[in-house]
Amino acid sequence: MSEFLVFDHVTKRFGALTAVNDVSLTVNRGEFFSLLGPSGCGKTTLLRMLGGFERPDSGRIYLEGRDITDLPPNQRRIHTVFQNYALFPTMTVWDNIAFSLKLAKKQKGEIEERVEEILEMIQLSDQAWKYPSQLSGGQKQRVAIARALVDRPQVLLLDEPLAALDLKLRQHMLLELDTIHDQVGITFLYVTHDQGEAMSLSDRIAVINKGTVEQLDGPAKIYEAPASRFVASFIGDTNFFSGEISAVEGDYCYLAVDGFPQIKAFNDKSLKVGQKVDLSVRPEKIRVTLAPPLPEKGASINVFPSKVKDIVYQGVYTKYWLESSNLRIAALKPHSRFLLDQEPITWNDDVFVWWHPDDGYMVEVQ
Amino acid sequence: MTENPLRSRKAEWLVTLPSFLWLALFFAIPALIVLAFTFHAHTTNGGVGEWSLSTWRELVDPDYPAIVWNTFRISFEVTFWCIVLALPCAYAIARMNKKWRAIVAGSIMLPFWTSFVVRVFAWKTMLHPDGWLQSCYITWLELREWLFDWLPAVAQRVLVWAGLASAGPVDPATSTILDSDTAVVLVSVYSFLPFAIMPIYTAAEKFDFALLEAARDLGAKSFYAFRKIFVPGIRQGIVSAILMVFIPAIGSYVIPQMLGGTDCVLIGNKIFMRAIQNRNIPHASALATLMAVSVLVPLAVAMWWKSRQDARDRKRVETRAARMTEGGAR
């Protein structure tokens, strides 16, 4: 089977700014694919080129083996859910949804059947004769999705579709989007700057920074094994330890960090002594205790004395800001009876931070 | 603490009173005076005589129906062309960046710095029978004649009857733009175009152009999106533009006076003639009243029809929605 959707060395410049720089990526049929990156990274430009609203300066875009780079938007079977929904204010919900079917010159009976079917799917059958201005944000969102899906496009583009909704509604719509994707089986291309949205929905994520793809992987891989310092810091929180490899011992190596004792880490990249590296350790992998871990454990793991600088209660967990030598370290601790077998930690306590060498991940080898 | 409804009522009256007074003083009372004049006879020295219905009897002039028809026909033509030209103009301006928008919108208003009469007079020179606009006009007439010959006989007769075409061949000697309906339409469109562009532009500026992108995305061609999304989206602006052009066009008399020659006499010219040359104020008032009524009555009918249509639409939507919820509950 040939590849479904391909960006082949696509570049787009706006004046002096290179919005998309030589991007090549492949999206599979039926996949929920996310483009994730900070605002201005070029993810929306990629989406607009796919929709036909921008033309790349160089490179081609293929859909099911067909070159669609120069096709106008109305000749692509690719529909977009816009950030502000862009529902037609002069038309009812029903007419908004039927718009693409009428353009495709479908039979009246078929149009009615399809519209009513999708209205049922988004559970807005009783709102069909209202105008967009009479709907709530979540309802508008659902209508926008239904309008784009009703004539079964090859690809559905979603441009930050949840950005305008409040947190509770956003979480609800996330589930709903996932259900809709499962129901229709159409390829979804989702653009967002919210890593949480991308992580919870996507089959694969392309992390984009300054117009290039930094990493293309499944959500877990991107979180656990970030390909660059940018990816590690953009997806979730992390602690960086920058230093030089001082010793290699079997599968593990030791990292010398300025003013800090040696850190043991899993040497999955087979680094040599003397190479410089950034080690990323996620806060939730770090334990904080008043007493040091048992000696038999302490031999094989990283244990460092530290001082509590700040404590932030965040409901699900508590975040500790700690200081060891000159480094600030963030650590998370969930609230669980099993972890309350120690004295409570307060400000300025001298504590121990410890983590397993396998929980550090080395990024950006220089 | 609850607001005293009577007091707030009183406050509302106080705030609206000045505009009521203004309207009464400068609109309602003068209009009623004009109406009252029509029920008076005129005196030979140009004054208003005693109460009488003679003015209304005099109004049965065999010339008037043709003049009224001509006035309406020309006003419709002018309005049509103004809207057709203003739509793409307003669209283009609204899509420009802020700097260019200000420059272009400013230059549309620029002609107003020159006197209206002077501008119309300038057209008199431009439309001179030896000028290049005249030769363009002859070409246009010949093209029109050629197209006319292609039409079926019934359509030809209808067009001739409506005064929109002439049956005879083009004679360059007698077909001058100057002193014809065409000159009146042309210069009226020129004069009133800014009044059409401005309200449409104001509406277009507020229009969300992402909607056109959405329409294109869903498979619409550019022009389809323009017709089905842009035009309905700025409906209000188009309605004001129609009123802004049609009303002055109905009452215009300077342009037909200076460029229309003897053939093109509109109701505005007649009113002017009766009031200034014949010094028959009651007769001029009667014509003015007739004109106002002939505009207001169709407008009222249109509004009544629209509200009835809306009510019917709402009813249909409600029954349909009710039926669908019933279906859902089943």
Domain ranges of chain B: 39-127+177-293
Strands (E), chain B: 40-42, 48-51
- Contact status, residue A335 vs residue A199, Cβ threshold 8 Å: no
| Exposed e or buried b per residue across A322-359, where buried means at least 16 C-beta atoms within 10 angstroms of its C-beta | bebeebebbbbbeeeeeeeeeeebeeebebbbbbbbeb
**Which one of A233, A248, A273 terminates a domain?**
A233
Distance CA A9, CA A28 (A): 18
Q: What is the ipTM of this complex?
A: 0.84
Chain A residues at the B interface, defined by Cβ less than 8 Å, are: 51-53, 72-74, 78-80, 82, 84, 86-90, 92, 99-100, 103-104, 116, 120, 125-126, 128-129, 147-148, 151
The structure tokens listed for B154 are 């019934």
Q: A108-121 and A137-149 helices cross at what angle (nearest 10)?
A: 140
The domain boundary residue, chosen from A203, A233, A263 = A233
Looking at the fold, whether A278 and A255 belong to one and the same domain comes out as yes
Nearest to B210 among A73, A82, A129 (CB): A82
Could you tell me which chain A residue has the CA closest to the CA of B224?
A103
**CA A323 – CA A276 distance, rounded (Å):** 23
Query: pLDDT 10s per residue in chain A (366 long)?
Result: 468 999 999 999 999 999 999 999 999 999 999 999 999 899 999 999 999 999 999 999 999 999 999 999 999 999 999 989 999 999 999 999 999 999 999 999 999 999 999 999 888 988 888 899 999 988 999 999 999 999 999 999 999 998 888 888 888 889 999 999 999 999 999 999 999 999 999 999 999 999 999 999 999 999 999 999 999 999 988 999 999 999 998 888 999 988 788 899 988 888 888 889 999 999 999 988 888 887 766 568 888 899 999 999 888 888 999 998 888 999 998 887 776 656 788 889 899 998 999 899 998 676
Judge contact between A231 and A364, C-beta under 8 A: no
CA dihedral B172, B176, B181, B185 (to 10 degrees): 110
Clarify whether residues A296 and A225 are in a common domain: no
Contacts B218 to A, Cβ<8 Å = 74, 79, 99-100, 103, 147-148
User: 10 Å Cβ neighbour count for A212?
Assistant: 15
How many angstroms separate the Cα of A142 from the Cα of each of A96, A165, A169, A176, B215?
12, 12, 12, 9, 17
Would you call A74 and B219 a contact, using CB atoms and an 8 Å cutoff? yes
Name the one residue in this structure whose structure tokens are 């562009």. B197
CB-CB under 8 Å, A88 with B211: yes
Look at residue B6 in the predicted model and tell me its pLDDT: 64
pLDDT of the residue at B5: 62
Contact B221 A151 (CB under 8 A): no
Give the residue among A201, A95, A79, A206 at the shortest CA–CA distance from A145: A79
Nearest neighbour of B328 by CB, restricted to A53, A88, A126: A126
Q: Which two tokens stand for residue A194?
A: 């919210």
What pLDDT is stored for residue B170 in this prediction? Answer: 74
Domain boundary among A214, A233, A252: A233
Q: Identify the CATH number of the domain in which residue A84 sits.
A: 3.40.50.300
Q: Which residues contact B67 (CB under 8 A, 6 or more apart)?
A: B265, B266, B267, B270
Instruction: Say if residue A172 is in the same domain as residue A282.
Output: no
What CATH number does residue A278 fall under? 2.40.50.100
Encoded amino acid at A333, one letter? K
Residues A308 and A324 in one domain: yes
The pLDDT score that the predictor gives to residue B171 is: 75
Q: How far is B321 from chain A (nearest CA, A)?
A: 6
- pLDDT tens-digit map of A234-277: 998 899 999 999 999 888 899 998 878 889 998 888 888 888 99
CA distances from B154 to B43, B151, B158, B159, B160 (A): 50, 8, 6, 9, 10
CB pairs under 8 A between A and B: 75
Q: What type of residue sits at position B253?
A: Y
Same domain, A149 and A76: yes
Assess contact for B268 and B251: CB atoms under 8 A.
Answer: yes
pLDDT at B329: 45
| C-alpha neighbours within 13 Å on the C-beta side of residue B325 | 9
Q: Residue B133: its pLDDT value, please?
A: 87
| pLDDT for A73 | 94
Contacts of A151 in chain B (CB under 8 A): 219
Tokens standing for residue B239? 């309605």
Average pLDDT, chain A: 90
CA distance B161 to B140: 21
User: Which CATH number does the domain B39-127+177-293 belong to among 3.30.70.660, 1.20.210.10, 3.40.1710.10, 1.10.3720.10?
Assistant: 1.10.3720.10
Measuring CA to CA, how many Å separate A81 from each of A39, A57, A162, A188, B187? 18, 25, 10, 10, 47
Residue B299, pLDDT score: 86
Q: What's residue B260's pLDDT?
A: 85
For residue A361, the SS3 value is: strand
Same structural domain, A198 and A271: no
Indicate the pairing of strand A263-266 with strand A276-281: unpaired
User: Which residue segment(s) compose the domain that A17 sits in?
Assistant: 5-233
Are A95 and A88 contacting, i.e. CB atoms less than 8 angstroms apart? yes
**Same structural domain, A168 and A26:** yes
Secondary-structure percent of chain A, ordered helix, strand, coil, rounded to 5: 30, 35, 35
Structurally, chain A folds into a number of domains equal to: 2
Calpha distance A126→A323 (Å, rounded)? 58
At which residue do the structure tokens 């600030």 appear? A328
Query: Chain B interface residues facing chain A, Cβ-Cβ under 8 Å?
Result: 208, 210-211, 213-221, 224, 229, 232-233, 235, 317-318, 320-321, 324-325, 327-328
Contacts of A135 in chain B (CB under 8 A): none
Q: Are residues A229 and A244 in the same domain?
A: no
> To the nearest whole angstrom, how far is the Cα of A92 from the nearest Cα of chain B?
10
Q: Which amino acid is at B259?
A: L
pLDDT at B1: 47
The reply to whether A13 and A159 lie within a common domain is yes
Tens-digit pLDDT string for chain B (330 aa): 455 666 678 888 888 999 999 999 999 999 999 999 999 988 888 788 888 888 888 888 888 888 988 999 999 999 999 999 999 999 999 999 999 999 999 999 998 899 999 999 999 999 988 888 888 888 888 888 888 888 888 888 888 887 667 767 777 777 788 888 889 999 999 999 999 999 999 999 999 999 999 999 999 999 999 999 999 999 989 999 998 999 899 989 999 999 888 878 899 999 999 988 888 999 999 999 988 888 888 889 988 998 898 888 777 767 766 666 665 444
Interchain CB distance below 8 Å, A99 and B218: yes
